[in-house]
Structure 1
Amino acid sequence: MRFVSLFALPLAMVAAQPALAKGCIRDAVAGGVAGHLVGKGHGKMGAVAGCIAAHQHYAKQTKAQATAARR
């Protein structure tokens, strides 16, 4: 049950936000490779983490650009 909640919560958080796929694919691949090198079965977890990290990065960058454009 805990395994399901590890994926359900981040998936719900990402689904609630607008999709910013700008770097998600690239960082998901990088995270998947890194997870694969860490150990067996960690590739998918690394891909999810990479996509979420890219989503947060580009959301922060977009917010900063919008703030700078108002000034």
Structure 2
Amino acid sequence: MKASRISFALLSAALAFASIGTANAAGCIKGAVVGGVAGHYAGHHAVVGAVGGCLVGRHLAKQHAQEQAQQQAALHQPVQPH
């Protein structure tokens, strides 16, 4: 039973890694590390924590990239005279 959970978690992590681009990979890796450590200390659920952390980290990295793109777009807009 435990081996099937680990296999499922590894498969999920592999699919998550396959579906991300290089821009979001750092968010996934950082989130996986933090989630894995937190999951380990919260009842030996490191793999589940790592997968969850990867998803959250990827989401936060995507939001950060969008905010930076909006800031860059605002800086490069021409100023309209009044």
Structure 2 unmatched ranges of 5 or more: 1-8, 75-82
2:26 is paired with a residue of what secondary structure? coil
Instruction: Detail structure 1 runs of 4+ shifted over 6 Å in the superposition.
Output: 6-14
* Residue 60, structure 1, aligned to residue 28, structure 2: no
The offset of 1:48, in angstroms, is: 0.6
Q: How many residues align?
A: 67
Matched with 2:36 is: 32
Scaled by the length of structure 2, what TM-score is found? 0.60
1:8-30 CA-to-partner distances (Å, cap 9, x unmatched) read: 88976775553411232222111
Q: 1 CA distance for matches of 2:29 and 2:13?
A: 16
Q: 2 CA distance for matches of 1:51 and 1:9?
A: 11
Percent identity of the aligned residues?
34
Give yes or no for contact 1:32–1:50 (8 Å, CA) kept in 2.
yes
The offset of 1:54, in angstroms, is: 0.9
Q: 2 CA distance for matches of 1:48 and 1:13?
A: 8
Instruction: Work out which of the residue numbers 52, 57, 71 in structure 2 matches 1:49.
Output: 52
